[in-house]
Amino acid sequence: MDRPPDDEVSGPTGPTGPNRAGPERERLPRKARIRRGTEIVALHRSGTRRRRGPLDLLTAEGAGEFPRYGVVVPRHRHSIVERNLLRRRLREIGRRDVLPALRACGSRVDILVRARPEAYSASFAELRHALVRFTEELCSGVSHSV
């Protein structure tokens, strides 16, 4: 059976390979994620906490040369399926809306998003609105503590 070379495999989004746009280019880069427990604890201790709709947002000036983004989704008596859906939604908003806006305005802030119980019933649009509005505040300088 004839198969295209590995660098020209066609996927659900079209052809992928080294010179083609594909799902690997859509990921949240590892260097832009807040992943370690120590980083999360440090943000909880020294960061500034704000509430925007169904989300708690912790921010601190980042030590790196680029903004970073992390998501914490507690159980709040919901199933793992519901938690994963909410986590994926928040990460997608961060990847597509929050981080590009922060990079564009030259901010190096670390943002940790913590879902409150009401976030489980919020729509994608409501979550996105809360995060985009917060990002605009950070970029415009309305938020004076970061």
pTM for the full predicted model: 0.76
Residue scoring higher pLDDT (82 or 45): 82
- Read off the DSSP letter of residue 13: T
Query: Is the per-residue pLDDT at 39 higher than 90?
Result: no
Residue 25 has pLDDT above 70, yes or no: no
Phi and psi dihedrals of 77, rounded to 5? 60, 35
- Give the C-alpha distances (Å, rounded to integers) separating 40 from 4, 59, 76, 94, 111: 44, 11, 19, 16, 10
Helix (H) or strand (E) holding 131: helix 124-140
| CATH number at 31-140 | 3.30.230.10
Residue 31 burial (10 A CB sphere; 0-12, 13-18, 19+): exposed
